[in-house]
């Protein structure tokens, strides 16, 4: 069945490739007729209206996609998301959820290595230690097991994942029915690697950048900004699909949210933007980097403006709790496996009960910390306070202590109480601001 759907999708993409903006609305109209129960009627209508309006930012997004991204990559995006993640994977994930009373995500984040060639201010990654690597055989097994559970999307963090770029390419080529995303500082991207990415077709890079040149170099060292821009230029030359990620904090929020910065990223070829806020994880964390409540509220407003007015897919890992119905971690939409193999509910929650080298993925999703996470979700009825660590620190303390989970920071393990002592003041300051935003949102939606 999957092969039949893939063949049909390939034929469909070939059909629309030479005139997407005129043909896609027609395809949507056909889809409406085939959707006899009207399950996706609203979605199809929104897409049709957006693509038919030449002034729409989504019209421009599709135009940019087909004009600037290789058709092989577009095929893989559609195959791995529209077919495998949605049509094929979703029923499988639902089956396992029902059978085992667990959460089964649609994505897995893993660290190929804990090593990094940079030392960014306030970064927690080095606390895992630089000596750990997930063997290729383990990453391959994760993908194999994941597909059996209906998971077809895999992300890489670190460390700097591209230190293992040969194994990443090997994994992408072996699992052509999956799509992969690697966060990267861009320093190891070159022409030869981009040739390999294009040959695989199913890998996108998400470049870490902190805003303009001064803001980026402040955290990533002198020359950090220029190296990222140079890497983006090579990616664009090879007609590859890529985006950027920011870590917004007290000193760069206004830069990463500015029209000037976002427009520049779009012009340089970025198709998506992931925005994260700074979390003071680890012994060497810098709490003064935490964004103020006013800055977080500003990002909430700006990311919504960006995604409704600019041709880019913009996400905010924290403020989008409203759209995701709370925290997406703990196996709900994703979970994290570090370079030592520890299975964690979130990339920012460095506590675990199990190691992937000793248990299966299915067993990991049934571990005490995942069960404790699942039991308490959502962590706040105000979905603008979704995080159990940054917004509701008492919840993450309950989870870690109930599960008797251990710190996975090898170099400098810290107790959950030590961590939450740093996030509690931020949570208390954010709460009244989030309350006002939430109440205003409810008032606006009812009028």
Query: What is 90-316's CATH number?
Result: 3.20.20.70
- The burial of 71, by beta-carbon neighbours within 10 Å (0-12 exposed, 13-18 middle, 19 or more buried), is given as middle
Select the more confidently predicted residue: 123 or 293.
Answer: 293
Cβ proximity of 195 and 97 under 8 Å: no
pLDDT of residue 336: 98
201 vs 198: CA distance, rounded Å = 5
Average pLDDT along the chain: 90
Query: With 70 as the cut, is the pLDDT of residue 51 above it?
Result: yes
- The confidence score (pLDDT) of residue 413 equals 87
Q: 84 phi and psi, to 5 degrees?
A: -70, -50
Structure tokens at 426: 């931020």
What letter would DSSP give residue 291? P
Q: If you write DSSP's letter for every residue of 209-239 in order, what string do you get?
A: --SSHHHHHHHH-TTHHHHHHHHHHHHHHTT
For residues 149 and 122, is the Cβ–Cβ distance under 8 A? no
Q: Max Cα separation, the chain?
A: 58
Cα–Cα distance between 389 and 436 in angstroms, integer?
21
Checking if the pLDDT of 163 tops 70, the result is yes
Over 90: is that where the pLDDT of 62 sits?
no
Question: Rounded distance, CA 172 to CA 182, Å?
Answer: 11
pLDDT digits (tens, 9 = 90+) for 182-241: 999 999 999 999 999 999 999 999 999 999 999 898 888 889 999 999 999 999 999 999
For residue 272 the two structure tokens come to: 């998506």
Inform me whether the pLDDT recorded for 124 exceeds 60: no
Structure tokens at 67: 């004009």
DSSP 35: -
Ranges of each domain in the chain: 4-69, 90-316, 349-445
Query: What is residue 427's predicted lDDT score, i.e. its pLDDT?
Result: 97
Distance CA 84, CA 90 (A): 8
Confidence (pLDDT) at 442: 61
* pLDDT value, residue 191: 98
C-alpha to C-alpha distance for 161 and 45, rounded to whole angstroms = 39
Query: What single-letter DSSP state applies at residue 46?
Result: H
Asked whether 290 and 426 are in contact (CB, 8 A), the reply is: yes
> What pLDDT, on a 0 to 100 scale, did the predictor assign at position 169?
98
Looking at residue 283, what is its pLDDT? Answer: 75
Share of the chain above pLDDT 70, in %: 89
CB-based contact 256:217 (threshold 8 Å): no
pLDDT at 121 over 80: no
How high is the pLDDT of residue 14?
67
Q: 341 pLDDT exceeds 80?
A: yes
HSE-CB for 142 with a 13 A CA cutoff: 33
Measured distance CA(431)–CA(420) in Å, rounded: 15
Tokens matching residue 88: 């094929």
Provide mean pLDDT across the span 129-151: 93
Q: Which position has the higher pLDDT, 446 or 54?
A: 54
pLDDT tens digits for 34-43? 667 776 676 6
The single-letter DSSP state of residue 133 is B
- Other beta carbons less than 10 A from residue 244's beta carbon: 27
- 6 or 351: which leads in pLDDT: 351
pLDDT, tens digit (0-9, with 9 covering 90-100), for 2-16: 566 556 656 666 666
Phi and psi for 267 in degrees, rounded to 5? -65, -30
Q: How far, rounded to the nearest angstrom, does the alpha carbon of residue 122 sit from its chain's CA centroid?
A: 20
Worst-scoring range by mean pLDDT, 3-12, 41-50, 95-104, 430-439? 3-12
Q: Please give the structure tokens belonging to residue 349.
A: 């929650």
pLDDT, tens only, 359-415: 999 999 999 999 999 999 999 999 999 999 999 999 999 999 999 999 998 777 899
Give the model's confidence band at 126: pLDDT under 50 very low, under 70 low, under 90 confident, else very high: low
Across 253-259, average pLDDT: 96
Both tokens of 217, joined, read 């170099």
């Amino acid at each position: 069945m999957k092969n039949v759907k893939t063949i049909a999708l390939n034929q469909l993409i070939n059909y629309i490739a030479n005139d997407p903006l005129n043909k896609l609305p027609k395809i949507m109209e056909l889809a409406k007729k085939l959707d006899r129960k009207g399950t996706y009627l609203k979605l199809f209508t929104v897409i049709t209206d957006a693509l038919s309006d030449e002034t729409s930012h989504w019209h421009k997004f599709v135009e940019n996609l087909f004009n600037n991204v290789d058709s092989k990559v577009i095929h893989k995006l559609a195959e791995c998301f529209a077919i495998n993640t949605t049509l094929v994977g979703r029923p499988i994930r639902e089956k396992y959820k029902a059978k085992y009373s667990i959460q089964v995500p649609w994505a897995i984040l893993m660290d190929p290595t804990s090593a990094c060639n940079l030392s960014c201010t306030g970064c927690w990654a080095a606390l895992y230690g630089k000596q750990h690597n997930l063997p290729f055989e383990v990453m391959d097994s994760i993908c194999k097991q994941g597909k059996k559970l209906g998971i077809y999307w895999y992300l890489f963090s670190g460390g700097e994942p591209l230190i293992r770029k040969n194994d990443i390419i090997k994994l992408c080529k072996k699992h052509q029915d999956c799509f992969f995303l690697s966060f990267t500082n861009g320093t190891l991207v070159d022409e030869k690697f981009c040739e390999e990415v294009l040959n695989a077709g199913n890998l996108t890079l998400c470049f870490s950048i902190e805003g303009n040149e001064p803001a980026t170099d402040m955290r990533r060292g002198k020359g950090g900004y220029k190296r990222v821009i140079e890497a983006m230029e090579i990616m664009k030359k090879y007609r590859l699909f890529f985006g950027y990620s920011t870590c917004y904090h007290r000193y760069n929020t206004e830069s990463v949210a500015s029209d000037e910065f976002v427009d520049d990223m779009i012009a340089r070829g970025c198709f998506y933007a992931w925005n994260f806020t700074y979390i003071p994880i680890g012994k060497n964390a810098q709490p003064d980097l935490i964004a103020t409540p006013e800055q977080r509220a500003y990002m909430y407003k700006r990311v919504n403006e960006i995604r409704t007015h600019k041709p880019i897919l913009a996400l905010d890992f924290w403020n989008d709790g409203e759209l995701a119905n709370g925290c997406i971690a703990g196996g709900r939409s994703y979970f994290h496996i570090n370079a030592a193999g520890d299975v964690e509910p979130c990339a920012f929650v460095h506590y675990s009960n199990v190691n992937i080298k000793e248990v299966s993925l299915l067993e990991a999703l049934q571990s005490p910390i995942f069960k404790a996470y699942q039991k308490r979700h959502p962590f706040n009825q105000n979905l603008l306070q979704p995080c159990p660590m940054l917004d509701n620190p008492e919840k993450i303390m309950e989870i870690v202590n109930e599960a008797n989970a251990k710190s996975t920071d090898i170099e400098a393990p810290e107790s959950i109480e030590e961590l939450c002592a740093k996030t509690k003041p931020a949570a208390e300051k954010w709460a009244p601001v989030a309350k006002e935003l939430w109440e205003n949102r409810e008032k606006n939606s009812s009028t």
